[in-house]
Chains A and B, each alone.
Chain A
Amino acid sequence: MYPAARVEGGEQAPESFDELVEKYRHCVFRYALLCLRDADAAETITQDCCLKAFQAFEAFRGECSGKTWLMGIAVNLVRDHIRNRRLQFWRRIRSRELPPLESFADCEGLGRSPEAMVARKEEIAAIWAAAEQLPERQRTVLLLRFVEEMDILEIVAATGMKEGTVKAHLFRAVRAVRARVAR
């Protein structure tokens, strides 16, 4: 079971594996989709992640939050998937067309200015393009930090990197993204 006393950040402890998966399955899918840009592959990763989590759930001692634990499995699965280049040709052929990410930008705080909205969309598109060009570990840290809103210690737990390494990757990723946006 899930020992509530060791869960960080006051997160409500899931009582069961089903609850854990139901609560964070979409985070795993989102992370895989952002890394792979292939909805089918992301769905496969999500299913594999749930399976691995189910197999390991008895051994989970709650050293980190349920989300961090699940994201750690997802990070490893995505890494393995990216390194397995044998089926890239088929993946490219069969991957579904994804809508542009910047079309999901919100206009909060922009008033009614169409120019501001266009500028925000361009900014988001530039960040999205920059993220694609980042080395794998920098991209992982960037996505976990700004999409999954995990703090440094959670990223350390999920990726298995040292704290200093995570900070260095995050700094380089932010610098690369800002350079791309500034172009």
Chain B
Amino acid sequence: MSEHLSEDQICRCVAGEAAPEEWAHLAACRDCEAQVAQGGLALRSFGAAARRWSGAQVGQSDRAPVRSGGMLRPLGALRLVVLMVVGVYFSAGTRAVPRPAQVALDDAALLNEVSADVQRAAPQSLMPFLQLDPAIAGSAAE
């Protein structure tokens, strides 16, 4: 085989499946040998890069939570939304029906406000006028 190898023959050599006469040609032809070597090196470099790349993803994957199905992430998000809605619903429900202790506290606060209003010399709305005239304020106090 005196001519150079064809592209298909080069491919077969790179794949490692060349015929004996093609190997023999490679041993004698530096151009073809260089082409095959270059092609093989490119694929081996790709393989090595792929192994390192995958190794880096293994670390990432170990940190990620293990999932068993493709739909789990959307379903998880949906489940979270449902839980939030249910939580909001029930917390709104507890506000609508106050507990007895809270009722007693509210009643006591209201009684205090009423008591303060009753003890006041004049209604709250007239208090600024009382401050303008000390005489009225004094008589009101008596």
Contacts and interface: CB of A to CB of B under 8 A. Distances in A.
Interface of A: 26, 29-30, 33-34, 39-44, 47, 87, 90-91, 94, 96, 98-99, 101-106, 120, 123-124, 127-128, 143, 145-147, 149, 152, 167, 170-171, 174-175, 177-178, 181
Contacts of A106: 45, 48-49, 52
B124 interface: no
Given A29-B61, A178-B10, 6 more contacts: A39-B60, A40-B61, A104-B53, A146-B46, A152-B17, A177-B43
Interface of B is mostly: helix
A34 B54 contact: yes
Interface in B39-72: 39, 42-58, 60-61, 64, 66-71
Contact of B71 (A30, A87, A128, A167): A87
Interface string B28-44: 00000000000100111
Contacts of A127: 42-43, 46
Nearest to B57: A39
Question: How extensive is the interface on chain B, given as a class?
Answer: 35 or more
Contacts of B12: 171
B39 A174 contact: yes
B11 interface: yes
Contacts of A99: 53, 56
A38 B10 CA distance: 33
The 6 tightest CB contacts between A and B, nearest first, are A30-B54, A104-B52, A146-B47, A104-B53, A87-B70, A127-B46
Contacts of B10: 178
11 contacts: A26-B54, A26-B55, A42-B57, A43-B67, A90-B73, A127-B42, A147-B51, A170-B15, A171-B8, A171-B12, A174-B14
Contacts of B11: 171, 174-175, 178
Nearest to A88: B70
B98 interface: no
A41 B58 CA distance: 12
